[in-house]
Structure 1
Amino acid sequence: MKAMLKMLTGAATALLAASTLAACGSATASGSGGGSGTTITLGIMTPLTGPAASSFGQSTIDAAKARIELANSQHEIPGVTLKLVSEDEGTTPEAGLAALQRLHEQDHADIVLAAGVSFYNSYRYAAQQKIPVIGDCIDGPECADPNNKTIFAMFGSSDNNFPNYQGLPEFFKSKGGTTYCGVGYNLPSTIANGKAMSGSAQAAGLSTPFTDFSFAPGSANFNAIALSIKNAKCDVVGTQMQVADSLSLFTALKGAGVTLKASFVQGGYGQELLDDQAGLAAAQGLYMAAGYTPASLKTPGTTRMMDALKTYANWSKPYPAAGHEWGWFSADTAVTGLVAAAKANDTSARGFVTALRKVTNDTHGGLTCPVNYSTFGDTQQQFPGNCTYMVKVTGSDFVSDTGETPIQIKAIPGTKNG
C-alpha cells in the first residue's frame, strides 16, 4: 500500500517569494511594472527525496509547470513570461530552509512556491528578506499572524484557535451517523484538528465516546484501537493521519465487524489511491474529503486543469495525483497575484503583495470556494475556502457525494481547541 504522507501537520505549504535586488535580473526585481519582454522566475521547493516525496515530488513540479505554461500560452499576465526552476526541499526543517535560501540567493527566483512540509522553519528567513510568500500554511502559525503581511495562504489564512464548526457533522448525521470516534497523531495540529472535529460533532448532537490522539505516525496498534471503537459503538470515524495509517485503521475496523454510516479521511483524494490495488480495496465505501472540485464532475474549472495537466505534464489519468494539488494551486495563486499586480502596472515584490492583499474572492478558476487574501485567521485549516467536497470511494472511482455543491464550514464563535 503506497504511503501518502499528506497529513494535516505535514500538509504542504506553497511559498511565493520575490527578490528585491536589481541583481536578480528581471524587471520585477527593480520595482518596475511588467513591461514588454519581462521574465519572472518562479522557483518551486518540494520534497523530491525522503518520506514526504510520495505525496509531493515530481508531480508537484509538473503541476506548477502546467499552470505556468497555461498562463504563458494564454498571455494571462500582459507583457510577462513565467519561467520555473526547482529545488529539493527534502523532508527536514533544515533542508527546507536550505532550499529556500538556494532559490532566493543562487537561483534568483522572483517568486518561490514552497510546496512541502517545512515552511514553518523557513518563514522567518522569508520575513526578514521581505519575501512575499504563498503557502498551504497548515503546519504552523505564520499565515495567521497579521505581522507577516507578505505571507499568504493559498487556501485561506488559518484560524489557529481551531474552533468547533458546523457543516461536516451535519453531513455525518445525514448519513445516519449518531456516534463519532476520532483518531490521530500526538502532534499539535492533528490533536487540535481532532479535538475541533470531535467538539463539532458534540455541538451537532452526536455523542463522542472515544478519541485517541496519543501515538506517532506508523506506531499505532490499530487492532486495539478498532476494538475500542467497536466497544464505543461508533458509527462515524474521522482520522487525522497519513492515508496509509488511516486505511490500516479502517481495515482493522472491517476485520472487527464494525459497520460505519460515514467516515472522514483527509488526503485520500488522488489518483495514487486508485492505482494502488491494496489501498483501493481497503478504501472501498469510505468517505474522503476533497478540498477542491472533484475531476469527475467535469466542470469548466476541472476540465481546464485536467486539460493543462495533459498538455503540459503528460498526465492523462482521470484524477490529479496528490502532488498536483500543491503545485497547481500554489502556481495559480501566484498567477492571480501577478495578474492583479500587472493591472496596477507594478509587478515588483511590493506591488505583488499590495495587489494580492486586495483580492477577496479567488476561486482558483472555479475550483474552490472564495478565498479572501485581505484577512488573517478566517479559515478552518483543513478546509480550503471554508468548504469541502466529500467523495465516496466506489469501485475504481471517487464519486462526489456532495454533487457540485461543497459543504460550507462555519466556525462556532467562542470555541477553541488550539
Structure 2
Amino acid sequence: MHSTRLFRLGVPFVAGAMALCACGSRDQGDGDSASSAGTTVTIGFDAPLSKDLAAVGLGMKNAAELAVNQANKNHTVPGVTFKLSAKDDQATPTIGQQNAAAFAAADDVVGVVGAYNSSVSAAMQSTLHDAGIVQVSGANTNPALTRGADYKTAPKRQYDNYFRVITTDDVQAPVAAEYFYRDLGIKKIATVDDKKVYGAGLVKEFTEAFLKLGGKIAVHQSINPDESDYASVVGTVKSSGARAVYYGGEYPQAGALKKQLVAAGFDGPLGGGDAVKDDAVVPLAGSRAADGLYTTSDGRPVEDLSSAKSFISAYQAAGYSEPYGVFGAYTYDATNALIQAVKAAAGAKAGAVEDLRPKVVKAMGSVSFPGATGQVGFDEYGDSVNKVISINTVKDGAWQDGIKVFTK
C-alpha cells in the first residue's frame, strides 16, 4: 500500500525561490541550486511501447519526456525536479491496471500521463482514483471515461482525478459521418470495428450520426485485432452494396483491412478515427491501396499551428528517432498541464501541505494555458475545452492533412 502521507511540503520563499521539502526521493543531480535544494517527484507515463502500437506510444513518451526536460531546465516549479517513469502497457488493459497499481504504490509519483487506449485507461481509472493520483491523457477519446455510459442522456463525472486534453468520439464521429454523407456523397456504408472500447464506441457514434443524416448502414462487421486475415469481413462488405467503409479501430488493422479490400476489388473509401491517422498506415496498406483513406483527427494539423512551432522545433532538436505522431503534441500538452497543476498545488499557500496528490487533482481542474495544440483547459467533466476536428486523406501515397476543419 502507498503511504497516506505522501508529501510534507514546506513552502518557504528564499530569494524568491520555493524550496520543496518532501519524503520523496531527493535529487542528486548536477548541482543546480534549485533542484539540489528541493525534491525530485515522478510523473508516471503509460502507453504501448512495444508490439503493434509501439510507434505511436514511443512518440507520446518522447513528447512527455520533452515537457519534463523543459520544466526542469526552466525551473517551472521552483525547488522541484521532475522525473518521467514510463511503463509499457502493450495496449492491454490488465497490464495497464498493473502499471496503475505500481504508480499508486510509489510515493514519489505525483500524477500519471496516459494511457493511449481508452480500454486501458478504463482499467486504470479506479486504481489511480483510489490512490488520489491525477490522470491526464493526450489520446483517450471514448466519452464514457469522463461522462459515464449514459453520457448523452445523463452525463455524470466518473472520476474527479481523470482529465484529457483531446476531444471525444461523440464529437469526431459525427464530423466523419457528415463528411462522408455530404462531401463524399456516400449514402450507403459498411461499418467495421475491432471490438475494443475505442473502436466499438466510435462506430456506434458514427452509425447514429450517419442514420440521422439519412444514410444507410449496409452491414456491420467486427474483426479480431489479433488476426491479420480479414477475408470473411471483406467478402461480406463487398457483397453488401456498400460504397464505403467506416472502421473503428487502430492503424495496424486499418492498413491491413484497406489493403485487403482493394485487393478484393472494393474501390470505395475507408474512413476512421484519430487512431488510424498515422504515417505507418500507408506502408501497411501499400502506397497505392492507401489512397482513399479518410480520418478525423483532433484539432488542426499540428504543423499548421503557430502555437506548435516551438514544440516541433524542440522535438526535432532533441533528436528523437521516432516521430511525435498524431498524439505527441497532445501528450506534450497533457504533461505540461500536470506540471502546471503541481506548480499550483505546491505554491497554494505557505506552510505544511499534506498529501500532495489530492492537491494536484484539485488544481488540475483549474489549469488553463495556451498549449501546442491550442487552448488547454477542462470542463466540469474533465474533458477538453478545445473541440476542433480536421479531416485528412491519403492521396498519391501521402497524407494530406486538414483538407476540411470543423469547429464544434
Give me the TM-score of the superposition, normalised by structure 2. Answer: 0.74
Shift of 1:218: 4.0
The corresponding residue for 1:333 is 337
The corresponding residue for 1:196 is 205
The corresponding residue for 2:86 is 86
Secondary structure in structure 1 of the residue aligned to 2:380:
coil
**Which one-letter code corresponds to 1:119 in the other structure?**
S
Secondary structure in structure 2 of the residue aligned to 1:233:
coil
Q: Residues 314-353 of structure 1: matches in 2 within 5 Å?
A: 314-315=319-320, 320-321=324-325, 324=328, 327-341=331-345, 344=348, 348-353=356-361
Give per-residue Cα distances to partners, 1:312-356, cap 9 Å, x unaligned. 3x1378x53367357434313313434554674589333322222
**Is the contact made by 1:60 and 1:324 (CA closer than 8 Å) also made in structure 2?**
yes
**Partner Cα separation in structure 1 for residue 159 and residue 96 of structure 2:** 19
Counterpart check, 1:152 vs 2:163: yes
The corresponding residue for 2:188 is 179
The corresponding residue for 1:113 is 113
The corresponding residue for 2:225 is 217
**Is the contact made by 1:62 and 1:327 (CA closer than 8 Å) also made in structure 2?**
no
Give per-residue Cα distances to partners, 1:154-207, cap 9 Å, x unaligned. 325x68xx6997433222211232222211123455333212201101111222
The corresponding residue for 1:22 is 7
The corresponding residue for 1:397 is 398
Shift of 1:66: 0.9
Secondary structure in structure 2 of the residue aligned to 1:65:
helix
Structure 2 unaligned spans of 5+: 11-18, 25-33, 148-155
**Partner Cα separation in structure 1 for residue 142 and residue 173 of structure 2:** 20
Structure 1 unaligned spans of 5+: 1-16, 410-418
Tell which has more relative contact order, 1 or 2 (C-alpha 8 A, sep 6+). Answer: 1
Secondary structure in structure 2 of the residue aligned to 1:402:
strand
**Partner Cα separation in structure 2 for residue 335 and residue 19 of structure 1:** 22
Q: 1:342 to 1:176 in 2, by over 3 A?
A: farther
**Partner Cα separation in structure 1 for residue 293 and residue 269 of structure 2:** 9
**Partner Cα separation in structure 2 for residue 202 and residue 28 of structure 1:** 58
The corresponding residue for 2:135 is 133
Shift of 1:71: 3.0
Q: 1:336 to 1:203 in 2, by over 3 A?
A: farther
**Which one-letter code corresponds to 1:300 in the other structure?**
S
**Which one-letter code corresponds to 1:181 in the other structure?**
A
Counterpart check, 1:375 vs 2:380: yes
Could you tell me which of 291, 296, 301 is aligned with 1:294? 301
Counterpart check, 1:249 vs 2:287: no
The corresponding residue for 2:13 is none
Shift of 1:376: 1.8
**Which one-letter code corresponds to 2:48 in the other structure?**
P
**Is the contact made by 2:193 and 2:248 (CA closer than 8 Å) also made in structure 1?**
yes
Q: How well do the aligned residues superpose, as a CA RMSD in angstroms?
A: 4.0
Q: In terms of mean alpha carbon deviation, does 162-171 or 228-237 score higher?
A: 162-171
Could you tell me which of 126, 134, 137 is aligned with 1:124? 126
Secondary structure in structure 2 of the residue aligned to 1:134:
strand
Q: 1:169 to 1:377 in 2, by over 3 A?
A: farther
**Partner Cα separation in structure 2 for residue 89 and residue 165 of structure 1:** 26
The corresponding residue for 2:16 is none
Give per-residue Cα distances to partners, 1:49-73, cap 9 Å, x unaligned. 45543542x4332221112223334
Q: 1:306 to 1:93 in 2, by over 3 A?
A: same
The corresponding residue for 1:306 is 312
**Partner Cα separation in structure 1 for residue 3 and residue 329 of structure 2:** 22
**Partner Cα separation in structure 2 for residue 165 and residue 322 of structure 1:** 17
**Partner Cα separation in structure 2 for residue 402 and residue 195 of structure 1:** 25
**Is the contact made by 1:180 and 1:234 (CA closer than 8 Å) also made in structure 2?**
yes
Q: 1:177 to 1:377 in 2, by over 3 A?
A: farther
Q: In terms of mean alpha carbon deviation, does 236-245 or 321-330 score higher?
A: 321-330
The corresponding residue for 1:282 is 289
Shift of 1:305: 2.0
The higher radius of gyration belongs to: 2
**Partner Cα separation in structure 2 for residue 290 and residue 224 of structure 1:** 29
**How many aligned positions are there?**
373
Shift of 1:278: 5.4
